[in-house]
Each structure stands twice: as structure tokens, then as C-alpha cells.
Amino acid sequence: MMRMLRENPDAAAVRIHGTNISPTAPALAACDVSEVEPYRVNNHVYAEFALDFCQRHGIDVLIPPRRLDALAGRAEDFARIGTRLMCSPPSAVDILTSKSRTYEAARAAGIPVPEWRVVRDADQLRTAVEELGREGETLCIKPAGEFSAFGFRIFDDAPLRLRDLLEAPRPLVSVTAVADALKRAADEEEKVPSFIVMPYLDGPEVSVDTLSAPGGRMVTAIPRAKDGRYRMLLDDPEPARIAGALVEHFRLSYLANVQLRRLRGRPVLLEANPRPSAGIYQTAFTGVNLPWAAVQLLLHGHPGDLPVPRLGGRIAVTETAAEVESPAAVPARH
């Protein structure tokens, strides 16, 4: 994304400031100015840090990839110091950072979602597995909050086979093991977050990167499907239609990401994020610079002249290496 901002179609000079909780975060090495941000602080403290950082550095545009709940309601505060905040409304951020509330709101809006249950203890888990597994579906479990892919497991009570040891590992777990973990946590009075139990959805996963104006008016959407190390830039209106309905319903602004998979052959919502996706750089191969268009939309009220996306292509995702400065070069924030 930083490369897309620098290699913008207007050939405008861009200076990028970045923060992270870790001084060794590789992304900081790609920034012109970097700083360590506070770790495990409440929303007010984090927002005050962000305001101070933007004021000290004269930031024009703030694009937060995390802690949206701390920043979404502070757009006017940022505006007073000359910083434009690229963020969706607080109401949308509040719902979409909870997978269970996302499914509830999306289902009410007519957006296809899978069946799901929210569980916090062993008894609720077993009930959910019994109810959702009646049609022979493979089930999975994941935290109900914003944990990315952390915590995701596929339920599998079958005994381990030799071939399982010779194949690529999968995030499998037995129902009994999860129930026992929840019970131990309760017995030890450990705080237990909510989890979602739902069918394991069929692939390929389709990720739709969207650009929308404030109020949820869709400007453009680019769907891409995963196939191992390859990504297919889909020329398919259905994922974009579902993403557009979600963007409009939640009144999402600027960059967002909607993820879909299939249940019994039909596309359903996996999750939605009111922020740019980690894979947004892949959309550059369509000829559309989404991050730069979002900046133009934020600053000037229009995204500029966008080309028609080149869809139907196939790209490979490969690794690269770059020499970076010592972590000692990144100033700490106390």
C-alpha cells in the first residue's frame, strides 16, 4: 500500500510516517519517519497519542489499519489540527469489529450469512456443535472479536492418521479439547471471550476491496480469489454486488474489505473490515490505484479519473527481501 501511494498516477511526492507497537516491525523500515506507539492502552490514551503524533509531524492524512474503535469518533479533533482521518463512522466500526454483531446486522439487511452460534462455555459449545452439525456440516470455531485469523480452528474428532503427518498442517482441533479448555478457563476464573461456531465454508475465499464515498456510495470494487500462491482478479459481478450492499448498509467510507466464501454452493459473508486489507496491493494489477483514489476522495471529495479495472487476470504472490536499518534507528515512545 505504501508503494501504491508513492507510485501514484499524479506523480505527487508522498512522505509516509508510520507507527507500530514493535520497533522491529518490517513496515517501519519502509516509512520515511517511524515511531513506536503505546502498547495495551485504552482508547482515549491511544487517540491522544495519535493526535499528538499527527500534530508534531504535520500529518495531512491518517490511514489507520488498526485501533479504529479508538479513532473513528475523533475525526473533528483531527480536523482541528489539520489532519484528515480516513475512517468509516463509529457505528459501523463498532458493529464490524464484532463478527457476531456483523452477522446479525447483515442478515437483517438481507445479506447472505451462514448460520452461527456465539459460545462462551463448554455447555454452549456442545449445544452449538449439536445444532449446527445435524446436516453433516464440518464446523469451525473462531473468536467473535477482531482477532484476524488468530484462534481459528476446524473441528475434527477423527483419530490422527499417518497421512495427516505427511501433509501440510491444518488448524484442526477436537470438540472435546475446546470444551475442556473453556471449562478450565472458567474453573480458574479466567476471562473468556466470546467465540463463534459456524460451518466451515467452502473456498475459494473471495476478498473484495472496496472504495466508497462517505455515506456508503460505492465508487468501485475489485474482487480477487485465492488459489494457493495465486490470486484471480475476478470478472464476476456477484461478489461486488454483495460487497456493495454491505458497504451501503453500514455506510462505509473510503477503503474497506469484504470477504466471502461458499455454503452449499452460494456465496455468503465471511467477514467485513472497515479498513484497507493487507492484500490491497494486489489490486494494483487491475490498473486502479485504490489507496491514492481514497486519498483524493478524502481530500477533494472525488477520487479523480479512475480507469475501468482490468479484471480476469491471474497474479502470483511471491516473497521478496530488503535490507533494513537497525531497530535502534526507530525512536521509542515513552
Residue 130: helix, strand or coil by DSSP? helix
DSSP H or E run through 299: helix 290-300
Q: Which fold has domain 2-87?
A: Rossmann fold (3.40.50)
What share of the chain in percent tops pLDDT 90? 85
pTM (two decimals):
0.91
pLDDT band at 152 (very low <50, low <70, confident <90, very high): very high
The C-alpha cell that represents 157 in the structure block: 474428532
Domain 115-199, second-level architecture: 2-Layer Sandwich (3.30)
pLDDT of residue 275: 94
Asked whether residue 327 carries a pLDDT value surpassing 70, the answer given is no
Q: How many CB atoms lie within 10 A of CB 17?
A: 16
Domain 92-98+202-316, second-level architecture: 2-Layer Sandwich (3.30)
- Check if the beta carbon of residue 299 is closer than 8 Å to that of residue 21: no
pLDDT band at 194 (very low <50, low <70, confident <90, very high): very high
Q: Is the bond leading into 204 cis (omega within 30 degrees of zero)?
A: yes
Asked whether residue 136 carries a pLDDT value surpassing 90, the answer given is no
CA distances from 293 to 85, 158, 240, 304 (A): 15, 49, 18, 7
Q: Which of 230, 229, 273 is nearest to 250 (CA)?
A: 273
Asked whether residue 235 carries a pLDDT value surpassing 90, the answer given is yes
- Check if the beta carbon of residue 268 is closer than 8 Å to that of residue 201: yes
What is the location of CATH 3.30.470.20 in the chain? Answer: 92-98+202-316
